[in-house]
Structure 1
Amino acid sequence: MPNGNTVKHGWILLLFVSLYITKRSEAVLQWGEKKKYQKNVERNVLNVIDYLYNYTKIKKYTDFLSNIIDV
């Protein structure tokens, strides 16, 4: 039969294991949120780059057309 110290150590171990699992789960969830945020930032940066690229293409094309029309 276990003595009082063994039971006490068992409860302490159970407490620390449950705290570890809880903190580990929180860290994993926060990491997932950071990854999701990072993907959104990357997507927004790519959208801006795409917009600027298309804008400069359109600007060059309209400048080209205006030069042809002016001549």
Structure 2
Amino acid sequence: LLADDGGHPAVRTGADRLTLTPVAELGLGLGEGGAALTVLPLIQSALLLASAAGPATVYTVDSQDVLADPDTIRA
């Protein structure tokens, strides 16, 4: 998780290598985790909303069931 690259070329290069994208492009460049502290309430709110929605229903289909009956889907 990358809060912001702060406009630093080395951080951008590292993020590219690790395939990280900034949560927000704030351009603070303060250091000392300033961007992380700024983005923290956003992450906390997103987690709270996701947990209130409940678990997602995952549907599975077994290959044996599909061969026997294509309408067989279990929740």
> Normalised by the size of structure 2, how large is the TM-score?
0.28
Higher helix proportion: 1
Structure with the bigger RCO (C-alpha within 8 Å, sep 6+) is 2
TM-score (norm 1): 0.30
Structure with max Cα Rg: 1
